[in-house]
Structure 1
Amino acid sequence: MTTDDIDRLARKRAKAKMGWFIHAAIYASVNLGLVALSAANGRAWAVFPLLGWGVGLLAHGISVWLLPPGGALLERMTERERSRLARGAKGDPW
């Protein structure tokens, strides 16, 4: 990898992590407001947006922290597709 490639990949990963931090901050602030509204009404309905959006935040976190851009899994999948295309896989709609 050249220095430019490393710099480009580092910027891409940093942007992905920053996107997750922004997502988490918005999640926390919005859901704090929803919990306050839910508590003011005497009901526990805020748990549903917390859980639903939490699953999305978890998936976003997995894609950023466990499967980062330029990560080993992505590289293996890319190489597999390159070799498949080089062989001229027929009948493959993708």
Structure 2
Amino acid sequence: METKNQYDDRYLKAKNRVHDIKGFYSNLTSFIIVNLIFLFINLNYSPDHLWFYWPLMWWGLGVIFHGLKVYNCFPIFNKEWEKQKVKEYMDKEKSKNEKWQ
């Protein structure tokens, strides 16, 4: 039988995952709306000098990286990598402390 602690851990992980996905969709929505406004402003007030694509490009790159992180497509920055690095540093610290005792 599953303990309450295991259920709580699974619940917290699921809740954090939903929070991360919600943050990504908020970022994506803001990106689309703001860049449409930039496009409108650029085409109406200075159509001979197109600048709207600069924020579109750089913010878009950020949105792509955000999405890759949220959906665990980054092999370096996913949760397992974080756990492995934390364990590695804890082991190093433990061995250093044992060496000096």
Q: What interval of TM-score do these two structures reach, taking the shorter chain for normalisation?
A: 0.7 to 0.9
Which of 46, 65, 69 matches 1:63? Answer: 69
Larger CA deviation: 12-21 vs 70-79: 70-79
Partner of 2:6: 2
Which segments of 5 or more consecutive residues in structure 2 lack a partner in the other structure?
none
Which of 9, 17, 20 matches 2:21? Answer: 17
Larger CA deviation: 74-83 vs 13-22: 74-83
Query: How far off is 1:59 after superposition?
Result: 2.3
Which segments of 5 or more consecutive residues in structure 1 lack a partner in the other structure?
90-94
TM (norm. structure 2) is: 0.75
Give per-residue Cα distances to partners, 1:9-43, cap 9 Å, x unaligned: 11111101100100100010000010111122213
- Percent identity between matched residues is 19
TM (norm. structure 1) is: 0.80
Do residues 88 (structure 1) and 96 (structure 2) align? yes
How far apart, in 1, do the equivalents of 2:87 and 2:65 lie? 24
Q: Which runs of 4+ in 1 moved over 4 A?
A: none
User: Secondary structure of the equivalent of 1:88?
Assistant: helix
Give per-residue Cα distances to partners, 1:45-86, cap 9 Å, x unaligned: 10001011112212222222225x972212211221221122
Which of 28, 32, 50 matches 1:28? Answer: 32
Q: How many residues align?
A: 88
RMSD: 2.1
Paired residues of 1:23 and 1:57 also in contact (CA < 8 A): yes
